[in-house]
Amino acid sequence: MTTHNSPTIRPILPADEAEWRRLFRSYREFYTLEESEEVVSNVWGWFMDPTHECQAVVAEVDGEILGFAHHRRISSPYTGTSGIFLDDLFTVPAARGLGIGRALIARLTDMAAAEGRAFVQWMTAEDNHQAQALYNTLAQRTAWVTYEAAPTPL
């Protein structure tokens, strides 16, 4: 990839479907998630539903989508504030180091400021050192440990 143009960060559009699907499959592969077109289609449907909590912005350079940030608004009862939670951030491998991830996060922090929100928050895999190198320049790492429980069987 030889482009050095700054990315345009914008909301995802219906016309982005094919490129987004390609990128989202790559994101899922990176995290060694099982291939599932059902999941990909379900998530795309969320982004196309204006009433769904999940939204997406994409990074476009020279007409090509090179990354995305999936996000949603959240409330924090223990602080009495609200923020934006960054669920997924992905940049195509060939574009890493060109400022795409930084620009996507900047868009979310700009949105948080414009909406009067107190924070943008995200998590990443413990072994994702390349992402952490960027995140350490943009945000404070927290001491919180994440847990996930399955729903109670019916």
Residue 140 pLDDT exceeds 90? yes
Residue 2 pLDDT exceeds 80? no
Higher-scoring residue by pLDDT: 62, 5: 62
Six-digit token string for 28: 């899922």
- pTM of the predicted protein model: 0.91
- The fold adopted by the segment(s) 8-138 is Aminopeptidase (3.40.630)
* Closest CA relative to residue 102, chosen from 2, 7, 3, 5: 7
Q: What would the DSSP string read from start to end of 70-125?
A: EEEEEEETTTTEEEEEEEEEEE-GGGTTSSHHHHHHHHHHHHHHHTT-SEEEE---
Q: What is the pLDDT of residue 4?
A: 61
Domain residue ranges of the chain, discontinuous segments joined by +: 8-138
Taking residues 101-105, report their average pLDDT.
97
Q: What is the pLDDT of residue 28?
A: 96
* Closest CA relative to residue 128, chosen from 89, 70, 72: 89
Q: Which pLDDT band holds residue 56 (cuts at 50, 70, 90)?
A: very high
- Using DSSP's 3-state secondary structure scheme, residue 34 falls into coil
Six-digit token string for 73: 């608004």
**Mean pLDDT (the chain, rounded):** 94
Tell me the β-bridge partners of 122. 86
